[in-house]
A and B are shown apart, each in its own frame.
Chain A
Amino acid sequence: MKSYQQIISGNKRTDRTFVVIGLLVLLIAMLTLVALILDLAIQGLPRLDWDFMTNFPSRRAARAGIMSAWVGTTLVMIVTAALAIPLGVAAGVYLEEYAPKNWITDIIEINVTNLAGVPSIIYGLLALGLFVYGLGLGQTIQVAGLVLALLILPIVIVSTREGIRSLPQSMREGSYALGADQWQTTVRYILPSARPAILTGSIMGLSRAIGETAPVITIGALTFIAFLPPSPVQESVPFINFDWLESPFSLLPIQMFNWISRPQADFHVNAAAAGVVLLAMTLLMNSFAIYIRYRLRKVL
């Protein structure tokens, strides 16, 4: 029979071994991330210059650029943010503050959870069947913005709800005691206090939307666009116009995908350069969101 010292030292050895295995797995995961970033940077960074940012796609790899792609991405993101943030926040507020406990609320909650798990390409099929052909909106910026907004809606809803749920009930009651009704409480207390959580969720959602490729391919984003959508700003009254909403478009991930799928290595370098821009945007947005959440936790 083993002495208890032996058992204890055996146990300690098992634990130490497991810590090593755990850290090893962690190291592999991190090395993958590092390899991915380094590979993209080594291939793509030398290609990244001013011309690359301001040139249109071209048949010749050396003259091709991502002008139409990043302009398209920016415009589509404006539409997505304008739709997803208000709708998601409103839905989150409803579910936390207003919703009665009944079967209708249950159905809404089940749907939000379920939609978060639907593959993004299915949203693309929805947009193709409903928006592009059903409603005749065409393969335009507005459709891309709309479908990406639907895609990230669950993210915004969930983070809004988490933000609201962490607010103390006593503050709500204080607001009611001062004579505020539910709407005033929502607008003047709930929303301002939940702002960091809403911001985190919105940024995370948008960073997901920037990188999404599949649903926009399905609705027919073009990979070869040698012009920009009409400018949203004009010189005459009313100074802004919305013609760009109905313009065909290209996007950064689409452009990158197109370059990857070509056989020539020169285009792969272009793909890496576009990937650097894309990755930088999403990583920056994600880090910013994580930072806000971290600070939020510290305050609480």
Chain B
Amino acid sequence: MSDQAALIGGAADGQGAGGSVLVDPSFLWRRKLKDRIARVVLFLSASLSVFVTAAIVYILITESMSFFEVVSIWDFLTDTQWTPLFTDAHYGILPLLSATLMVSGIALLVAVPAGTVLAVYLSEYAPAKLREAIKPILELLGGVPTVVYGYFALLFVTPLLQKFMPGLNGFNMLAPGLVMGIMILPYVVSVSEDAMRAVPDTLREGAYALGFSRFHTALRVVIPGAFSGITAAYILGMSRAVGETMVVAIAAGQNPNLTLNPSEGAATMTAYIVQVSLGDLPHGSIGYQTIFAVGLTLFVITLLFNIIGFWLRRRYREVY
């Protein structure tokens, strides 16, 4: 309001002075300055994200550097034991990595078929009203805190599975894998449905005109057409599963274990970081540095998945 008053006042003054000057120049100058300041402040807020990324990379690399001065990268990548806190210390990431990939793999075995079927159903079959009702429910599924999913995996799903599989450990990779599959399902559905809906209707109508059923249209036209977007959904879902922490920290146990048997417990990379953070290792010790080395590995893996995923997503957006 004050600016408007100034504008009117300025104009009136200007006319009073002879009609040649319309606006008080100092008012215009102040206005320009305000606009400049706003622009700078907004730019700084936006560039914060660049600083955060840089800080993450910087912290992970500097802390890991001191770790890799003691442990060679070769040992880190090939040693089959991870016992950094024992007197006979081994620093092989393989057990943590294999557990991470095993749990994420199980999650994908759930999320990929279920997610694809649901996405096809939502984009090709479901009436608009039903779709609008289902999507919020899926969103709620994705909004449940991960620690609650962890509770569910350890104290509901594991006992339930043990009724059918007596050999299942209290801590195992199967239950958190299954729960994580449900957890990433909404994300996989939303990204792949997005891709399927981007396939132009003209292609669908062409298929219908040739006598295709909805199912064959989905299978032969929509899925191939949205292929890069659907792959992106799987890869981004995988990236989420790899970085997920609480479900595995709670239900998969904290014991590094190089095994391919999903009924055994095994610590993942994220679970190890949690385990070390709960104790109090002195800042600067080799044990403290291990979590940054593990974190760096995790960051590189998820970054790789994310880059591939975003690249694929961008590709389908360009096609249509």
Contacts and interface: CB of A to CB of B under 8 A. Distances in A.
Given A98-B42, A111-B53, A208-B143, A214 B274 contact: yes
Interface stretch (A26-34, A50-58, A163-171, A234-242): A26-34
Interface in A74-91: 86-88, 90-91
B138 A257 contact: no
B120 interface: yes
Contacts of A15: 125, 213-215
Interface string B149-166: 111101110000000000
B146 A211 contact: yes
B45 interface: yes
27 contacts: A11-B213, A11-B215, A14-B213, A15-B125, A22-B120, A26-B121, A29-B185, A32-B141, A33-B140, A35-B152, A90-B42, A91-B45, A94-B39, A94-B46, A115-B49, A119-B245, A120-B245, A124-B277, A130-B59, A179-B7, A181-B35, A182-B39, A211-B147, A214-B146, A260-B150, A260-B151, A282-B144
B302 interface: yes
Given A30-B137, A130-B59, A211-B144, A98 B39 contact: yes
Interface bin, chain A: 35 or more
A99 B38 contact: no
Interface bin, chain B: 35 or more
B317 interface: no
A282 B148 CA distance: 11
B243 A119 contact: yes
Interface in A16-52: 18-19, 21-23, 25-26, 28-30, 32-33, 35-36, 39-40, 43
Contacts of B155: 39, 43, 260, 268
Interface stretch (B13-21, B82-90, B221-229, B290-298): B290-298
B200 interface: no
A279 B32 CA distance: 49
B286 interface: no
B57 to A, nearest CB: 10
Contacts of B216: 11, 14
B42 A126 contact: no
B129 interface: no
Q: Name the 9 nearest CB pairs between A and B, nearest first.
A: A119-B243, A211-B145, A22-B121, A11-B213, A90-B45, A94-B42, A214-B245, A129-B59, A91-B46
B151 A122 contact: no
Given A36-B152, A99-B46, A111-B50, A25 B243 contact: no
A18 B50 contact: no
A18 B151 contact: no
A271 interface: yes
Contact of A19 (B48, B121, B291): B121
A contacts with B: majority SS: helix
B167 interface: no
A218 B145 contact: no
Contacts of A23: 121
A119 B242 contact: yes
A113 B49 CA distance: 9
Contacts of B126: 22
A198 interface: no
User: Looking at A11, A86, A124, A125, which has the most chain B CB atoms within 10 Å of its CB?
Assistant: A125
Contacts of B211: 7
Nearest to A24: B117
Contacts of A268: 155
Nearest to A272: B151
A279 B145 contact: yes
Contact of B151 (A124, A275, A294): A275
Interface in B43-65: 43, 45-50, 52-53, 55-56, 59-60, 62-63
Contact of B121 (A18, A40, A124, A261): A18
B298 A122 contact: yes
B46 A257 contact: no
Nearest to A186: B38
B257 interface: no
Contacts of A119: 240, 242-245, 270, 298-299, 302
Contacts of B195: none
Interface string B274-291: 100110100100000001
A118 B38 contact: no
B273 interface: yes
A280 to B, nearest CB: 11
A107 interface: yes
Contacts of A122: 56, 60, 243, 295, 298-299, 302
B303 interface: yes
Interface string A233-258: 00000000000000000000100110
A261 B43 CA distance: 45
Nearest to A19: B125
B31 interface: yes
Contact of A36 (B35, B156, B306): B156
Contacts of B56: 118, 122-123, 125-126
A25 B274 contact: no
B189 to A, nearest CB: 9
Contacts of A115: 49, 52-53
Contacts of A290: 136, 139-140
Contact of B114 (A28, A30, A124): A28
